[in-house]
Amino acid sequence: MKGKSLKWVYTNGYGESDRSRVTDQDVLSCLTFDQTGDYISVGDKGGRIILFKKCQGSSKTGSKFLDYEYFNEFQSHESEFDELKSIEIEEKINRIEWLNRQYHGLFLLTTNDKKIKLWKIFSKEEKKASGFNIEPGHKPVKALKVPKLRKCGKSVTTQLKRIFQNAHDYHINSLSQCADNEHFLSADDLRVNIWNLSISGEVYSAIDVPVENTEDISEVITSASFHQSDPNIFMFSSSKGVIKFCDYRINSHYDKYAIDFALAEDSQKKNFFSEIINSISYASFSKDGNYIFSRDYITTKTWDIRKNK
């Protein structure tokens, strides 16, 4: 309302209140809302996914407010050892991506450094058999009867649908669903891969930066995202503060024919910390797809796609 400022009120908190009982595995690593805002997913360093569901809260004074309650929790990733490279792969959850609702249940993608998993979360009707012919105390049965299944409530169940792996040499930093609801992308420091949700054994590398010597790497990919409504458009950001806007329909060499969004850098003000400050940590499209929001070390920026600036 005009003339009135927003008032922010703390409503709820989740987690262990006793800090002495918190371990390194309990540290949160990512948090994501679904597209409707009805659910929140939280990932931690222990490879767990904790889900919260929207509910109606009320204060002692009787006022109503929006709140979230615990919904479900499951183990998404376990620590593994890569025998070929002799390195340990942590179970820490790097990213969570909720998929658009099309079928019964909720679907989400989760990833650690190397492996992406597709999960289904749904409510399952629990049933219990009753009416057996054996009576308590082993009393003689006078007449045979058919046992029946009796409903005894619902429970939330998780099911692993697919695993997408062996396509990234570096740590995965991004997941994003395509607007066609059939594909998604994943990105690491030097590569952007596009997957089909129904096929885990095939992957298309949209961006693959060739590097002969890792010591020569001067710029890496920090995030990547599909357009909200156009399945032909995606973008990725870099550690040098550049956002590349790519379109499938123009050319298959996306990085060479991409539109760059970046601020002109003053060479006189450039110093040792310039690249650290300008590095984009995250970028995403607006809901209408006309803008790009980016975040670097100290600022957030809004880019207008229609004006290329």
Query: DSSP labels for 54-95?
Result: EEEEE-TT--EEEEEEEEEEEE----EEETTTTEEEP----E
Using pLDDT thresholds of 50, 70 and 90, give the confidence band for residue 82: confident
Across 141-150, 165-174, 244-253, 300-309, which has the greatest mean pLDDT? Answer: 165-174
More confident residue, 114 or 141: 114
More confident residue, 169 or 6: 169
For 42, phi then psi, to 5°, come to -125, 130
Sign of the alpha-carbon dihedral angle for 164, 205, 286, 247:
negative
Of 14-28, 74-88, 231-245, the poorest mean pLDDT is in: 14-28
Contact 251, 234 (CB under 8 A): no
pLDDT score for 61: 61
pLDDT in tens, 152-204: 778 889 999 999 999 999 999 999 999 999 999 999 999 999 999 999 989 99
pLDDT score for 85: 80
Contact 169, 183 (CB under 8 A): no
pLDDT score for 86: 84
Residue 68's contacts (CB-CB under 8 Å, 6 or more residues apart) are: 12, 40, 52, 53, 54, 55
More confident residue, 4 or 303: 303
